[in-house]
Structure 1
């Protein structure tokens, strides 16, 4: 698995105008190819009167799924430069749809490549991006007496407490980089006088 990847901070639309043609770039997160296709379909329905609705998306932390469409523009002048921009920016789990309303002035192949790729780049700048890092899920079991202190110490050390469950003991779920697991075990033993238990689970991606 990749140690980290970049994706968009939020979904949204950014508009640019080039030689009287309007280019609207809609960006959204997509966890699966199905989600990406559904988003493309939704934008196409919303802008059914547009000249073109071109798209590109990258799914998978390792960019294992890559798709692009020129939607009637000359081959390689729209979807491919959009996809290249996503890859150049190291974007993952991201879908982009650029809707074009033709303004009467032809841009030529080079102009189209710059317009479509540029529309995606400007939208990424406008909406922002975030890094997601790979973490190992860790479950910490601690007695009620020490639970409050452990939660405070975890947060002070920069560990996000993802879940807290109360029963006979208190169970806290956090994410740890693999390289920090052993150091965390030692730290937790010091904080709880060796009374807490740590169990490692699967891997997830979370905010870096």
Structure 2
């Protein structure tokens, strides 16, 4: 299983009983980075009624913080944090800026508005699943290509690059847990003739089928 992260942040907006809620989402790798982002937005929206925030950092979401920024306790920061945890995203900070519209929303209304704002912000962001694995290059002769394409197709492993010269080179990104079985299948399918190069300990993701390597 991969780790869900925000690859590119976004901004979502919500109007609730004339109150305006603006959710700004940003990927962050440390608590300092999160706090700097929050401080920057408080400066940008200095005239807002509230700038509430939540962030989660770490592979196991070890660092979790949130703030109601003057809203009734438990009506903003915690519901915002709960959305991030519920979506299982890592290394992300969100600030929801509120401009008060003159009508009180009540505690239930506030919880819903802040939660929905974060969901809107996440919808406008690019969220990807980062997977640990290897970049593998398989070398084969032309006779082996069809077998390998079939074998990879069966396992849902995309070919990210291919070169056809006197030999054929296929480049793949493979999740850690699939590598051993794949290597055995390739050896069997090509009677041990295929070459195998492996670049280990990478993280990768696919954005609209395009590979991104970290």
- For the aligned pair, the TM-score class normalised by the smaller chain equals 0.7 to 0.9
Distance 2:60 2:206 in 1: 17
Give CA-to-partner distance per residue, 1:10-49, whole Å, 9 cap, x none. Answer: 3221111112111001112223333322322222221111
Q: Does structure 2 retain, via aligned residues, the 8 Å contact 1:134–1:204?
A: yes
Q: 1:40 to 1:199 in 2, by over 3 A?
A: same
- What residue in structure 2 maps to residue 13 of structure 1? 11
Q: 1:76 to 1:199 in 2, by over 3 A?
A: same
Instruction: Decide which moves more: 50-59 or 189-198.
Output: 189-198
Give CA-to-partner distance per residue, 1:58-106, whole Å, 9 cap, x none. Answer: 1223211211111122222111110011111222222111001111222
SS for the counterpart of 2:173 is strand
| Alignment TM-score, normalising by the size of structure 2 | 0.73
Distance 1:110 1:30 in 2: 30
Give the counterpart of 2:137 among 120, 135, 140. 140
Is there any run of 5+ residues in structure 2 with no aligned partner, and where?
A: 163-167, 208-214
| Alignment TM-score, normalising by the size of structure 1 | 0.75
- What residue in structure 2 maps to residue 109 of structure 1? 107
Give the counterpart of 1:73 among 62, 71, 79. 71
Which 4+ residue blocks in structure 1 deviate beyond 4 angstroms?
Answer: 152-157, 170-174, 190-193
Q: Does structure 1 retain, via aligned residues, the 8 Å contact 2:139–2:169?
A: yes
- What residue in structure 1 maps to residue 37 of structure 2? 39
Distance 1:171 1:30 in 2: 37
- What residue in structure 2 maps to residue 167 of structure 1? none
Q: 1:194 to 1:49 in 2, by over 3 A?
A: same
Q: Does structure 2 retain, via aligned residues, the 8 Å contact 1:15–1:23?
A: yes
* CA RMSD after TM alignment: 3.4
Q: 1:155 to 1:46 in 2, by over 3 A?
A: farther
Give CA-to-partner distance per residue, 1:127-156, whole Å, 9 cap, x none. Answer: 25644142322453759x88xx79x95997
Distance 1:160 1:16 in 2: 41
- What residue in structure 2 maps to residue 83 of structure 1? 81
Is there any run of 5+ residues in structure 1 with no aligned partner, and where?
A: 165-169
